[in-house]
Every structure is written in C-alpha cells, then in structure tokens.
Chains A and B, each alone.
Chain A
C-alpha cells in the first residue's frame, strides 16, 4: 500500500469536513477551466541591469501603467532580458528576487538625523540635511586642511574626513564622486574594490 503516514494524516486533518460538504452537493456550479490571466500584457517594460554581482545580467522591469501621465508607475515584476548575450533571460536567486529589493520594507524614504548621544532617528528636510552636512565639512576642512607638508611642499590635502564610494552606483555617480572628493582635497577615498 503506497500511502505514507504523512499523506494519511494530512487527509484526515483537512479532509473530512469539507469532503462531506462536497458529497452533499454543496459545490460551485458550472466549473469552468481557466488559466490565470497573463499579467504583463500592457505593462510598461524598461531595460535595466541587475545591481548585484558583476555578470551584469540584463533585466526587464514591468511597471504599472502604460506611461500615461495620470498613472503612477510602480514596478511589480522583474525578469531576465532574453536578448542579453550573457544571461539570455536567466537570473540567479538574487536577480530573480529584485522586485523585493525595490519594495523592501527597509528602503529609506526620508532624510534623517541621529543627534549625538541620541536614541532615535529624527526626520529632517533635504535642505536641513545639506545645510548641516556642509557646515560640518567646512568646519572640519577649515580646521584641518594641510596646505604644505613638513618640507614646505604644496600638498593641499584634507585627511580628517573621508568617503567610501558605492560599487553599485553608476559610473556617472562615480565620476561626480571623484570630482567631489578631489576638489575638497580628500585622500581617504575607497570603494568595495578594496575589500
């Protein structure tokens, strides 16, 4: 007898009450066959590149709305780009789950500050954030900028503030970061290539 105990218990637990109902004839009528509707028919398709590893798989992002001005677009599905020469439509478990990254409950949504010694985040405006950060940077730079080294050579460096740059940001962000840090005289600049 090829019935496992597990099958039997499952059957016993969930089965009896409803099967009784079924046999009493309390069944939906006109049982018609229907596959689930295909959900991408008129969605907007946008090409992008997976942001995780360096294979650089092509992805297709599907978003609500057809681009009409009154529709607020939101991405509801992501799958591989079948035209991409490397992934040819495939995605790994990270890439295949990208939609949950886009909509992660841990996405940051507002600028915040944690005051010295503070226990909580406090929401602030972008204007306040830029103002306070710029003020901190200027104070530190003005106080610690090194124009000449011990030998009197012009070095123009600022060592007391540094920056880590994001390996998932675009080249364009990288380039602006390079201009930003060097114009300020920063040397403590690094990215994930180091680790």
Chain B
C-alpha cells in the first residue's frame, strides 16, 4: 500500500477490483465501512462474482475474469476524452508531457521491438527523446504528437464503451456509471482509493492490471493524497517483509538487486543500479545505491568484507536468469534439481498444476519441510486416493519434517500491508520438540560450516566468511537479527556540517538510512529498515496510538521507509506548495523545510516551486503513464486474453491473443485447454472463513466451512441439471477435482464477443491433510503459466468443464 489501512476511511470513492477485501481482509475492510458511514463514500465492486464485498457495495459491476485492462483502459479513454482528469497534476507530476522516441510504435497487438522466436522485446525504442544533457525532452503545451499524453490517447482510443462491453461483458451503462464516479474524484478535494489483491496479480497480465489502475490514479491526481493511492492488500502476514528482505531469486534486501553474471565486477553492478536523473534538478534516491549495497555487504560478511575484496562481491552468487518457482519446478520435473527446503510453504497446494508439482517433488533426492503444521507437501508421497494417487514405494525422495514454533511462541516483527513493522512477543512454549525457524537454519548452517572446515569442498569461502556473530551460534536471537538489519556505525561518523560532532559513534545503532556510507563505515542488512531499532530502542515495539490527523498513528510500531505512512506525499501539495485539498493537508513548507503530520517524502529543504518533481525514486521524478522499459510486454498496458480464453480470440487483434511476452514452457503449452472441451471460465479464490491451506487444520474454521465446494450460477446449473449440494466433477486439461455444488444467483452469465460465458468459482482451501473434510487440491486445475514480469501464476483465469456426478 502506498497509504495505510486506516487511511481508507478518508476516501470518497472506494473501488474494489482484482480483490475481495471484505472476505480476504475483513478487518481492514472496516475502514471501507467507516468511509461509507462517516465520509459518505461510495463503494464500487467490480468482480466476476457478486462477493461478500459486493453485498455491502453501493454499485456492483460484473466483469469477465482476466479483462481488467480493457475495463480500465476504457476508463482512461473516458477521462481523457471528457477532460475529466486532474490536468494540473497530470502535467506537473506525470510524464504526460515528455516526448517519446520517434521509433516507438504499437500495431496489431505488438509494440516495437518484438522477437517472436524468443517471445521477448528489444526495448530500445521504449524510451524518451533526450536533449544534449541527457535529460528527457518535454512539451508543456501537450501539442507534440509524440508526447506521452497524446500517444496514450491514441493507444486507448480503441477501448470504447462498446469494446469494453464486448470484451468484459460489463453492460455499457454500468461501465459508464463507474467512469462517472471515478471522474468525480479528479476534483482536487476528492479521492478514489483502489483496493486490490491477488485478483489482479494472478494473471499472465497481472502487473499490467495494476499498472493500468495506477495510471488512472495519476490522471485523477490521487497519488500521494490522503484517501488515495494504490493499495495492494497483501495476501500473507509477512509477505511484505519477506519481499522487503529480498527473498526472491534475483533480489537482495531493500529492493537492491542480486548481481547478474553480466555485472562481472562490483563497479559494473553499481554503475547499472546507481541511476542518473533524467530531468534537470531532479533528486533520485537510487543515487545512493552504493551506500545501501556496501552496507549490506558489511552485514553479510562483517570484517571479512573490505574495499580490497570489493566488499565480498565474488561471494555472492550471480544469476543467468531468474529461478522463480515455475522455472524451478520445470527444472525439477526434468530431474535437474536434487534438494529442496520448504520453510512454511506448501507448494503442492500453492503452485499451479498440482500433478506436475507432485511429479517434480518425486524426482528430488531430499526434501526438507520446516513447518508448524502438517502440510499436503509433507505427505506428497502418500497415496490419498483420487486426491493424490501416487505410488509411494516408487518415490525415492527422502523427506525430513521439522517442527517449528508458530507466531505465539516467538518474538519478532512482521510487516503489514501499510508497511508497519510490528514487534510481537512470545506467549508460551512450542509444543513437543518444536523450535524456532532460526534455530533450524542455524542448526543446519553450523553443521555445514563444520563439515566444510573439516573436509573442505566446493568454494567454502562464503560459508566460512559469513558473519555469524551471535551470542549463541546455534540460537540467534530475534533482537540480534533485528539490530543487524537496522545497521550500525562501524566507525565514528563525523557530522559534515559541524566539525567535531558526530552523527553516530562507532558501535551505535543508526537512526536512519541517510547515515549509510559506501566506504565500509556502516552496516545495514536492509537499508529501508534503518531506524527500526535505534539507540533509543526497539521502534517496532512502540504502542502509542495517538492520532496525529487523518487516522495517522506514527508512534504505533514503525513503518518503512523512515516511519513514513503515506508514500509520495509531496504530491499531496501543488508544485507551489499549496495543498490540493486544504482539508487534507498532509505536509507543508514552513519557510525552511517541509513539515506535517507525516514524514515528508521529499528533500526536506527543497522549497516549493523548484524543478524537483515529487516521485523521488524515479529518474525523472514523475509518475509514469509511459513505463519506459520497465515492463516486459509494453510501456502502455494492452488487453491480452488469458492463456485459456473462453472466446479463443482477442477482439482487438486476433493474431495476438495472449500476452506475447509471457514465458510458457513447451510441455505446459500443450497442457492448455480450449473452449470446445472446457467451455467455462474458471477462477480460484479464498473464502473469508479460511486462510489458505492453514485453517483446514484449525477446528474453529473447519466448522465454518467444512467441505470443499465450487460455485455455479443458476443458469449453468439449470443447463447441467445441478442442484444445491450435488457432487460435481470440475476438470481442466490438467486434472480434475470433485466437490459439492453451491448454486447461486451471484454468478451470472455474461455476453462476451457475442458468446455466453459462464464462470465457475473454485475456492482453494481444501486438501488431503487437515481436520476439515478431506478435499482435492484446487490447483490441480490451474495452468502453469505466469505473468511476464513477475511469473505469478494465472490462477484467476482458466478453462474448465463441469459434470454432475
């Protein structure tokens, strides 16, 4: 979230699209209700299903799964055509006026630079026109046909209300009603808040779904505003933290990048990521990349990292490509992987095409399960009848199952969607012999290190050089680890402004990332967390809930970065410093510096009216309506059909049906179904009564939704002779599940491209382990293809058939 949970209450229009917040985030949703009851806000839900969120909405718009880009591009067209957007904001704070490379093109579904053989783009033309200083050229009159705004207008011209209806199945009048509500928040004193979740990410076009909405928010002038923003409601309690700490194939903590093999030395790596401004007078915070990177290296390797050995650059692994889970399970299925560690993760249930996952795990030599609960993955080798029909004796995988503590039995911090690091405390001991995850990691690591010390082996240096300065090497304490992430001064840090004084003395915990250095005099495991545990103590443990305005509680826990609660908040004021809306002034210029109820997201002493634009993490300081080369499939969003499309064509460009830049493995492409055999659009989702695959182990939740079911609209049920509670078989090209049928008025057939499209809803929460009634893994059905940027699987749009049993 750029904003935070309580801030939702300040919105005037709340759009829930690509998510179902009442069910997946019920308590966060209280602030939606609060906005309705206290702020007279209107709630609009756009979803293939009439969800429990829709049950309390003012307006509901049905949409075919996987067509959100078409809908939102239609909104952009409406805003631009009617002129109902915040023109001052758009001109000053977005790249609308910047001029684009003359060779950039879009035609018949493809942008310039496409290579069909590799399914990749050469993105050279996806760039600005630069002047001789290397700054992007701009035309503030917006007359130049190559300026971003004019290219965007041309790009979205095809998304007429009629086309939106034809692709999405949303009635034209309903679509226009939504447009009007959104357009109303182009006024400087009104905002829209978009709440989304996995309903947008889990598509082959997931990233662009979100991008299209972000563009709407920029045009409406809602970014940086109280009650506005782009609000990703993350799916798990610390998925934010794990992402912040860079536990992804090619990431490092704090959104630094793990070096690739193309960056053959430290200088090359730093040069690539230390970006230069694309506008005169612009601050770009990534100019500090070397400080963050070197401080991280000091945390990794301690005293072993020095300028002489490039801070241990060689000890980091270098990647040739991303090893995301789809890539890795493809390799596993080919027998190229031997070992796998699953820490609090249930891939058999969580990854697409469950049968492929189980077959892949069966090829491993060893699998280590680290979990507080029995998972389906831990017993993938057992035959569970139809639900997991394997030959146990043929599976040669050695499986270890290690019990861990759960939340209640350990100290530590987790990060919510509002980026709050909240410390928690242990309330009881773990059952049996269960121990904390860190003790398990330490146990294995210390053992490995001893083996390498004794026997030698392949490149032991990074193992031997890793900093492991914990009081008890077998049991690193959460406090020790948290302080390590915060970082400390490794030498006295003199204050450049006042000779003789120091910003921090050697050994002190650092108060903020501004103190980090690239010369090895500071350490920090995750620069965006610097300030979370300072000399003043554990800031994450703070519990003062004083509201400083607009529901902001800056003394409750600690938010990254720098305890800032609303990102990009400089954009809440005009270039001249006056607020867009005097009733929600977040920060203001006091003559010397920016101050306010939130920590300003800007150079503190940069006066209003300067050339410095508000989005200081971007090279040009502007919100990007044109994404340059940052996206895999194009700088403008374009509607592409799901890989399994119920209409089998793309009404905009029949030759390019689905995302041309998505990576699909050969065997998986052969496993895609067509509408003739699998005619129904299916989507998977959570129910409010359950959390993922955990609560099937929790009796109180098993009571609430005991048994697996699928949801079918009355029209389809009638066609198939299916009644409430009948058992049905739902099949995709990849497998089948059997479940009870919930027949409902809440799923209606849509007319799409002249065809009737029925949706089938598939809740995910069952499996062959748990205290709830045993069920099938819903991901038996889902396709093994991901978003072209993130490789997040397309769980939300695929094809199935339904039969009554």
Contacts and interface: CB of A to CB of B under 8 A. Distances in A.
Report A-B touching, CB under 8 Å.
Answer: yes
Contacts of A138: 448, 451-452, 455, 457
Interface stretch (A13-21, A22-30, A32-40, A49-57): A49-57
Give the size category of A's interface with B: 35 or more
B451 A135 contact: yes
Given A44-B427, A55-B27, A104-B771, A185 B317 contact: yes
B264 interface: yes
Contact of B242 (A78, A126, A191): A191
B262 to A, nearest CB: 8
A136 B365 CA distance: 9
Contacts of A117: 392-396
B6 A133 contact: no
Interface in B247-274: 247-250, 252-253, 258, 261, 264
A180 B239 CA distance: 19
Interface in A110-160: 110-119, 121, 126, 129-138, 140-145, 147, 149, 151, 153-160
A191 B476 CA distance: 22
Given A97-B700, A135-B451, A161-B337, A126 B400 contact: no
Contacts of B331: 159
A106 B697 contact: yes
B92 to A, nearest CB: 33
B27 A91 contact: yes
B204 to A, nearest CB: 14
B417 A55 contact: yes
Contact of A177 (B343, B411, B691): B343
Contacts of B202: 195
Interface string B435-462: 1111001111101100110010111001
B237 A193 contact: no
Contacts of A101: 373, 406, 694-695, 697-698
B465 to A, nearest CB: 8
Contacts of B399: 113-114
Contacts of B344: 165-169
A136 B452 CA distance: 13
B318 A55 contact: no
B200 interface: no
Nearest to A157: B317
A168 to B, nearest CB: 5
A133 B725 CA distance: 47
B556 interface: yes
Interface stretch (B108-116, B320-328, B588-596, B731-739): B320-328
A171 B246 contact: no
Interface string A176-193: 111111111111111111
B441 A177 contact: yes
A175 B526 contact: yes
B709 interface: no
Give the size category of B's interface with A: 35 or more
Nearest to B439: A126
A92 interface: yes
B56 interface: no
B482 interface: yes
Nearest to A44: B427
Contacts of B398: 113-116, 132, 136
Contacts of B343: 163-166, 169, 173, 177
Nearest to B24: A53
Given A107-B431, A111-B433, A157-B319, A132 B400 contact: yes
B462 A185 contact: yes
B545 A108 contact: no
B463 A184 contact: yes
B426 A93 contact: no
A115 B397 CA distance: 7
A116 B458 contact: no
Interface in B515-558: 525-526, 529, 543, 545, 547, 551, 553, 556
A61 B408 contact: yes
B434 interface: yes
B545 A83 contact: yes
A100 B458 contact: no
B462 A170 contact: no
A179 B402 CA distance: 20
B462 A156 contact: yes
Contact of A100 (B340, B413, B698, B769): B698
B237 A53 contact: yes
B484 interface: yes
Interface stretch (B142-150, B497-505, B788-796): B788-796
A90 B636 CA distance: 41
A18 B350 CA distance: 54
Interface stretch (B217-225, B228-236, B599-607, B655-663): B228-236
Given A90-B30, A110-B433, A56 B417 contact: yes
Given A97-B700, A185-B317, 15 more contacts: A56-B417, A93-B701, A100-B699, A105-B699, A107-B431, A108-B372, A113-B398, A134-B451, A159-B331, A161-B341, A164-B340, A175-B253, A175-B484, A184-B462, A190-B249
20 contacts: A48-B425, A53-B691, A73-B428, A93-B688, A100-B699, A113-B398, A117-B395, A134-B447, A141-B458, A153-B261, A155-B320, A166-B344, A167-B235, A171-B415, A174-B247, A177-B247, A178-B245, A192-B236, A193-B242, A195-B202
